[in-house]
Amino acid sequence: LSARYGPVFTVYLGSRPIVILSGYEAVKEALVDQAEAFSGRGKVATLEKTFNQHGVFFANGEQWKYLRKFTTLSLRNLGMGKKEGEEQIQEEARYLVEALQNTQGSLLDPSLLLSQAVSNVTCILLFGSRFDYEDEKFRAVVLAAAGTLKEISTSWGQLCEMFLGPLYYLSDILQHLSAPHSRLTDHLSTLATFVSGQIQQHQEKLEPQAPVRDFVDDFLVKMGQEEKASGSDHTDFLLTAVNLLFGGTATVGATLKYAFLLLLKYPEVQDRIQEELGQELGWERAPSLVDRGRLPYTDAFLHEVQRFLALLPMGVPRALTKPTSFRGYDLPQGIEVFPLLGSVLHDPEFFERPEEFDPSRFLDADGQFKKNEAFLPFSLGKRICLGEGLARTELFLFFTTILQNFSLESPSPPGALSLQPAISGFANIPPTFQLRFRPH
Ligand code: HEM
The full set of domains in the chain, from first to last, is: 1-439 (1.10.630.10)
Q: What is the number of the ligand 1 atom nearest to the C-alpha of 312?
A: 10
Distance of CA 283 from the midpoint of ligand 1 (Å): 33
User: Which of 60, 378, 397 to mutate to test ligand 1, by most ligand atoms within 8 A of the CB atom?
Assistant: 378
What single letter denotes the amino acid at residue 386? L
User: Which of 44, 56, 385, 399 to mutate to test ligand 1, by most ligand atoms within 8 A of the CB atom?
Assistant: 385
- The predicted structure's pLDDT at residue 243: 86
pLDDT band at 198 (very low <50, low <70, confident <90, very high): very high
pLDDT band at 173 (very low <50, low <70, confident <90, very high): low
pLDDT exceeds cutoff 60 at 226: no
**Edge to edge, what strands does the sheet with 40-41 contain?**
8-13, 16-22, 336-340, 318-319, 40-41
Establish whether residue 191 lines the binding site of ligand 1, counting it when its CB lies within 6 angstroms of any ligand atom.
no
Q: How far is residue 330's CA from residue 332's CA, in Å, rounded to a whole number?
A: 7
What is the value of pTM for the model shown? 0.93
pLDDT exceeds cutoff 70 at 256: yes
Establish whether residue 315 lines the binding site of ligand 1, counting it when its CB lies within 6 angstroms of any ligand atom.
yes
Binding residues for heme: 385
Cα Dmax for the chain: 62
pLDDT band at 54 (very low <50, low <70, confident <90, very high): very low
Least-confidence region, from 40-54, 177-191, 217-231, 309-323? 40-54
Establish whether residue 316 lines the binding site of ligand 1, counting it when its CB lies within 6 angstroms of any ligand atom.
yes
Binding residues: 385
- Rg of the chain (C-alpha set): 22
pLDDT exceeds cutoff 70 at 5: yes
Establish whether residue 115 lines the binding site of ligand 1, counting it when its CB lies within 6 angstroms of any ligand atom.
no
What digits encode the pLDDT tens for the residues 122-165? 999 999 999 999 999 999 999 999 998 998 888 776 666 665 55
Q: How far is residue 169's CA from residue 117's CA, in Å, rounded to a whole number?
A: 37
pLDDT exceeds cutoff 50 at 281: yes
pLDDT band at 91 (very low <50, low <70, confident <90, very high): very high
- The predicted structure's pLDDT at residue 17: 86
Average pLDDT, the chain: 89
* Mean pLDDT on 363-368: 97
ipTM over 0.90: yes
Establish whether residue 119 lines the binding site of ligand 1, counting it when its CB lies within 6 angstroms of any ligand atom.
no
* Residue of the CA atom closest to atom 30 of ligand 1: 248
pLDDT band at 55 (very low <50, low <70, confident <90, very high): very low
* Pairwise pLDDT comparison (49 vs 324), residue with the higher score: 324
pLDDT band at 56 (very low <50, low <70, confident <90, very high): very low
* Pairwise pLDDT comparison (68 vs 396), residue with the higher score: 396
Task: Give percent of the chain with pLDDT exceeding 90.
Answer: 68
- The predicted structure's pLDDT at residue 237: 74
pLDDT exceeds cutoff 70 at 229: no
Distance of CA 103 from the midpoint of ligand 1 (Å): 32
pLDDT band at 65 (very low <50, low <70, confident <90, very high): confident
* Among candidate residues 189, 186, 253, the one with its CA nearest the CA of residue 430: 253
* Residue of the CA atom closest to atom 41 of ligand 1: 383
- The predicted structure's pLDDT at residue 277: 97
Establish whether residue 57 lines the binding site of ligand 1, counting it when its CB lies within 6 angstroms of any ligand atom.
no
Establish whether residue 377 lines the binding site of ligand 1, counting it when its CB lies within 6 angstroms of any ligand atom.
yes
Distance of CA 23 from the midpoint of ligand 1 (Å): 20
* Mean pLDDT on 391-401: 98
Establish whether residue 428 lines the binding site of ligand 1, counting it when its CB lies within 6 angstroms of any ligand atom.
no
Q: How far is residue 179's CA from residue 183's CA, in Å, rounded to a whole number?
A: 6
